[in-house]
Structure 1
């Protein structure tokens, strides 16, 4: 099949959406499909994948988005693709894949993590977020036109479409998947020793790891507070490593205020995240919102028990005991109790065994199998409705009211 994947910026270090796109593109190409990634710019490549860089131009983000959608539409119209799969709101594609969930639900989550007057302020001035308004108009058009299959990576996102648009028809859940993670045992042991030695963590210490690209959204402050309270109550020998793309100054100051500076290590984003999984004993992601966190699924495939929240669509994978799910990042008592359990080697071992029971269902190969069945469906449907060129050229357009 000839498949187009559309995304703004293709750099896996930016986050889960980019990581997902890269892994899916590479797997599709490995299986012999003709894959084209259409983007503004890219810091990524893979064997057998064509990357079309359209550039970034425009004074505002809305303007850049408008130009990108138009240019990408031109690529799709001339490419005669069997299936077009967009990771952003782009009318006219075959598959719309909102990695952040619906725009309305994402906005609710943005307000949820605020408190008091700040929360009221964010709720009141949300209409001033012109980029969000543009995405919302584009998404409403996609749903209204009904051509695209709305792809959801968890039941959490499917419920959003039902709540926000009263739509389940043409909404497809294909639960997220991640690439094979585990190396041979000797390499894993070597990585564990290497990382723990580099940051001064002894083998008798528990190492929690938190991986995030948006520290505020992913509850890093709440993680630090819970970690500090747990240390204060138990005097356990433990460390917390926070890995991600963020300005860490405010979080270093918070760690200092909490008296845990010497127990917390900040690590910049890395392409060697598996080394940190090997070094860690448990994963923590106290997120305020995540449609289906890849890092939690990666942790499960690594048999690294995760702690997350009910706001994470990936929590469905933990129902059999592979990890711990608490109600909210603000439920500090529950987070502390979970840390106490995960610091216990016997408890961790039981949860690691539960991870092993579900890891196969989280495989990227299974996810791509389901994607290909979806692509075949939309390709067959297009053949009955007319050529891909005619359909793309008539629908991949950004209207004036969809600009900022």
Structure 2
């Protein structure tokens, strides 16, 4: 909804069509709920696209902006991963399923060379995947910066806030806090992180704690940690609304995600002065390289490589350098204006669409 509100603040009327809505509806934005049919996710996606069509045809709007892949969009906000790339990793039989045929058709309607849809891209990695699988022209992609909140920037009393956080969770100043942030432990790679902690030499492992902030089912990962002999070194905090305090209290952000279209927490960590170790496939991982604010785990992922990089970073003399590099990078780089830049793209698409319509009317 933040993009919709940004467009409203710029003087536009915004109508939202959705398959479901939870909570109070905004007064300044019209919300229309479209009932979908189907027992599976892919059949509901197909149903939504079909039932939406009468509302958006015949020039009803200056611009049709979608967060779901479907035909008829002027602009698609690419917040999801490339389905064709994911499907290519599966068996031939998977590509015979109704799910595959439905989802690939919807994705192709946006990214094929014959489509005219503009794409607001937030991930260089996923952009490359789309171009590889569909041959989508470069001119249809519009990269926008991350959209972190400025309260993620380390304040003058950052060290005091970090020390208070450590005291609160019972960790001493000389213990290493390797922090993970995010919900859905499976996708975020919590298993990979636990294996990496277990691989550390005893002298380092004894004073290192893996602190995991976010919603997820901890049971299987506690059992994994117990089996590997590191249960006492893994702390599940659960969901919190004070993530910035953890960023200020930790020594390293670990983000070995299996799949991550963006990875906003990577940018937030740099803003807080926290060195980062993340998988190269995370959408925002290129910022870590540009800033020289840590290391990236190469793709394809190899556990031993993560283990090596974690050990190198925890024992490196460059921790302070990576911290300063991250803060400096955030200070000189636009990592805040995602929605404003996206609104500019939508306005440009609407202008061109209206000009084309006027020219056709004239002929």
TM-score bucket (shorter structure): 0.7 to 0.9
Q: Residues 321, 67 of structure 1: CA spacing in aligned structure 2 closer, same or farther, 3 A cutoff? A: same
Task: Tell me if structure 2 keeps the 8 A contact 1:176–1:292.
Answer: no
| Residues in 2 aligned to 1:55 and 1:158: alpha-carbon distance in whole angstroms | 32
Structure of higher RCO (CA pairs closer than 8 Å, 6+ residues apart): 1
Deviations 1:186-235, CA, capped at 9 Å, x for gaps:
77567545643443222322212212344333322111101111253634
| Residues in 2 aligned to 1:333 and 1:289: alpha-carbon distance in whole angstroms | 19
Q: Residues 44, 239 of structure 1: CA spacing in aligned structure 2 closer, same or farther, 3 A cutoff? A: farther
> Root-mean-square deviation (CA), in Å?
3.2
| Residues in 2 aligned to 1:148 and 1:263: alpha-carbon distance in whole angstroms | 49
- Return 5+ residue gaps in structure 2 as ranges: none
- The residue correspondences of 1:35-54 to structure 2 (distance < 5 A) are 35-43=14-22, 49-54=29-34
Which residue of structure 2 lines up, in the alignment, with residue 155 of structure 1?
124
Q: Could you tell me the TM-score, scaled by structure 1's length?
A: 0.75
Aligned match for 1:361, one of 313, 333, 351? 333
1:240 Cα deviation (Å)? 0.9
**Is 1:211 matched with 2:211?**
no
Aligned match for 1:165, one of 131, 134, 144? 134
Structure 1 window deviating more from structure 2 (136-145 vs 334-343): it is: 334-343
| Residues in 2 aligned to 1:73 and 1:384: alpha-carbon distance in whole angstroms | 23
Aligned match for 2:227, one of 251, 257, 278? 257
| Residues in 2 aligned to 1:385 and 1:363: alpha-carbon distance in whole angstroms | 34
Aligned match for 2:78, one of 98, 101, 123? 98
Which residue of structure 2 lines up, in the alignment, with residue 396 of structure 1?
none
- The residue correspondences of 1:349-388 to structure 2 (distance < 5 A) are 349-359=320-330, 360-365=332-337, 367-386=338-357
Deviations 1:116-168, CA, capped at 9 Å, x for gaps:
xxxxxx52442365434312111223325412113322332222232111232
Q: Residues 296, 52 of structure 1: CA spacing in aligned structure 2 closer, same or farther, 3 A cutoff? A: farther
- Return 5+ residue gaps in structure 1 as ranges: 1-21, 112-121, 391-404
**Is 1:226 matched with 2:176?**
no
| Residues in 1 aligned to 2:119 and 2:158: alpha-carbon distance in whole angstroms | 38
Which residue of structure 2 lines up, in the alignment, with residue 238 of structure 1?
208
Q: Could you tell me the TM-score, scaled by structure 2's length?
A: 0.83
**Is 1:331 matched with 2:302?**
yes
1:179 Cα deviation (Å)? 2.3
1:328 Cα deviation (Å)? 4.1
Task: Tell me if structure 1 keeps the 8 A contact 2:148–2:264.
Answer: no
What secondary structure does 2:152 align onto?
coil
| Residues in 1 aligned to 2:322 and 2:97: alpha-carbon distance in whole angstroms | 42
What secondary structure does 2:38 align onto?
coil
- The residue correspondences of 1:60-139 to structure 2 (distance < 5 A) are 60-77=40-57, 80-108=60-88, 111=89, 122-127=90-95, 130-139=98-107
Q: Residues 232, 344 of structure 1: CA spacing in aligned structure 2 closer, same or farther, 3 A cutoff? A: closer
| Residues in 2 aligned to 1:269 and 1:130: alpha-carbon distance in whole angstroms | 36
Which residue of structure 1 lines up, in the alignment, with residue 109 of structure 2?
141
Q: Residues 346, 135 of structure 1: CA spacing in aligned structure 2 closer, same or farther, 3 A cutoff? A: same
